[in-house]
Amino acid sequence: MQTSTTPIVYVPEDSDFTIYNLPYGVFETSSLDKRLGVAIGEYVLDLREAATQGFLSSLSSEYFQGTDFNAIMGLDRRAWKALRSDIQDVVYGKTSESIKSHHSLLSKLFIPMHQVSMHLPAKIGDYTDFYSSKEHATNVGTMFRGADNALNPNWVHLPVGYHGRSSSIIISGQDIRRPCGQLKGNQEPSPHYGPTQALDFELEMAFFVGQGNSLFESIPAKTARDYIFGLVLMNDWSARDIQRWEYVPLGPFGAKNFATSISPWIVPLEALEPFRVPAPTQEPQVLEYLERGPDPTTFDIHLTVSIQSSSMRKPQLICESNFRYLYWTMEQQLAHHTVTGCNLRPGDLLASGTISGKSEKSFGSMLELSWGGSKPLKLEETQEQRVYLQDGDQVMMHGYCQKENIRIGFGSCHGKILPAKPLT
């Protein structure tokens, strides 16, 4: 039978979830328990139902009975590609004709997006956040140490990172409670307790580890692509005043561990291949285990951040950046993470760090946009000013790739700030 090139369900032209995308997520409805799904247009394909109907023959049906993608992540790229092919056949391929003639089966397979609620797509065992934007690191270093000492000597030799807290990673749409902690101003003799007055967002992306590596075995950057399952948007919420007091000498702690938001749909690496572009030139030459492969090693992903205060009718765009700005690539991040023999596992999450470009409009945090508070950001609709985020503010992040008629989107990563809870 001739394969159709038209999806079986309606897909708007400007949809993030086109037939070229097919991202993975975990959903539930009022009548369906948590299960694995794929976004297509304004619908979610129920993978458990598709497997039950025999449409996903490349994998055992057991892989689709759970409530997370960890088992599928643990397979190799060949298995991921075969599953993607099966899903394409359901959406617009060989199995479509048989589905079209059975409306009850069609309604079981494709759930309207407005009926679903989303959950974390994986059990995240470990979470690591990197510091891979040279522009961001330079901006922050300039503010705190001056232009002559902006980058620490090690920064151009290795991907700097820290181990974060996986238990407080939350799904897009969940509200953020303003954190409290120890605060100390420059002129204060001693610290005090209170809610952060410098709550910030950080525009990031993150990737889920696929098959892991054994303890004491490392993965060089040139082969690390085979261990990356897919990408999500990330907002690494940060309390800058708590961070300023606590980070010496071991780095971020409570200032980062209260909440990290991710978008619900994992865009597979294969969907992004048409948008692969060269990464920035690295000088000096990196060590052998960090050497990139001969082909382009990053992606052209347009990223935006908008803010909407409680008194605004619509959000205001405040940042336009791009994933391709990152100095250290995902493969290099993974290689450095494992160079000591650290074992990564399916479902581990590795984040990019704040993604900033050279222009002020591309700065990926309030810290940079307001330049440490010296240049308040103006919200045009209400004439409000922002140095950092206030209660009631909503932060909305989006990402997409576009080339001719091919569009790949990541959906939304958003959250609203709630007031701090009183000390109990």
Q: Is the pLDDT of residue 164 over 60?
A: yes
**How wide is the angle at C-alpha 242 spanned by C-alphas 236 and 243, nearest 5°?**
60
Question: Quick one: pLDDT at residue 182?
Answer: 96
Report which of 252, 250, 253, 207 is spatially closest to residue 230, judged by C-alpha positions: 207
Query: What band does 186 get if pLDDT is binned at 50, 70 and 90?
Result: confident
Contacts of 374 (CB under 8 A, 6+ apart): none
d(CA 148, CA 359): 20
Query: What band does 2 get if pLDDT is binned at 50, 70 and 90?
Result: very low
Chain segment 210-254, per-residue pLDDT in tens: 999 999 999 999 999 999 999 999 999 999 999 999 999 999 999
Q: Is the pLDDT of residue 1 over 50?
A: no
**How wide is the angle at C-alpha 168 spanned by C-alphas 162 and 171, nearest 5°?**
115
| Whether 157 is catalytic | no
Residue 306, helix vs strand vs coil: strand
d(CA 223, CA 354): 25
Binding residues for Mg(2+), by number, are: 236, 256, 260
d(CA 50, CA 86): 10
Chain segment 383-403, per-residue pLDDT in tens: 999 999 999 999 999 999 999
Query: What band does 3 get if pLDDT is binned at 50, 70 and 90?
Result: very low
Strands (E), 272-376: 276-277, 298-299, 302-308, 316-322, 349-351
DSSP labels, 227-286: GEEEEEEEE--EEHHHHHHH-TTT--STTTSS-EEE-S-BEEHHHHGGGEEPPPP-SSPP
Question: Quick one: pLDDT at residue 101?
Answer: 64
The tokens for 166 are 């996986």
Report which of 82, 72, 10 is spatially closest to residue 36, judged by C-alpha positions: 72
Better pLDDT: 177 or 101:
177
Question: Quick one: pLDDT at residue 423?
Answer: 81
Residue 118, helix vs strand vs coil: strand
Q: Is the pLDDT of residue 196 over 80?
A: yes
Lowest pLDDT segment from 103-107, 386-390, 408-412: 103-107
Question: Quick one: pLDDT at residue 139?
Answer: 97
d(CA 104, CA 85): 24
Binding residues for Ca(2+), by number, are: 129, 202, 204, 236
Question: Quick one: pLDDT at residue 5?
Answer: 64
Question: Quick one: pLDDT at residue 6?
Answer: 81
Chain segment 299-323, per-residue pLDDT in tens: 999 999 999 999 999 999 999 999 9
Put simply, whether the predicted model's pTM sits higher than 0.85 gets the answer: yes
Binding residues, by number, are: 129, 131, 145, 202, 204, 236, 243, 247, 256, 260, 354
Contact between 284 and 276 (Cβ < 8 Å): no
Contact between 27 and 44 (Cβ < 8 Å): yes
Spell out the domains of the chain, with CATH numbers in brackets.
Answer: 24-119 (2.30.30.230), 127-418 (3.90.850.10)
Question: Quick one: pLDDT at residue 170?
Answer: 98
Binding residues for substrate, by number, are: 131, 145, 243, 247, 354
β-pairing, 176-177 vs 406-418, is parallel
Chain segment 273-294, per-residue pLDDT in tens: 999 999 999 999 999 999 998 8
d(CA 366, CA 387): 7
Q: What is the mean pLDDT of the chain?
A: 95
- Which of 114, 136, 336, 398 is an active site residue? 136
Q: What percent of the chain has pLDDT over 90?
A: 90
First to last CA, the chain: 67
What is the helix (H) or strand (E) element at residue 384, kind and residue range? strand 384-386
The tokens for 16 are 């993030």
Chain segment 66-100, per-residue pLDDT in tens: 999 999 999 999 999 999 999 999 997 666 566 76
Phi-psi region of 54 (alpha: psi -120 to 50; beta: other; left: phi over 0): left
Chain segment 214-224, per-residue pLDDT in tens: 999 999 999 99
d(CA 56, CA 77): 16
> Would you give the DSSP letter of residue 333?
H
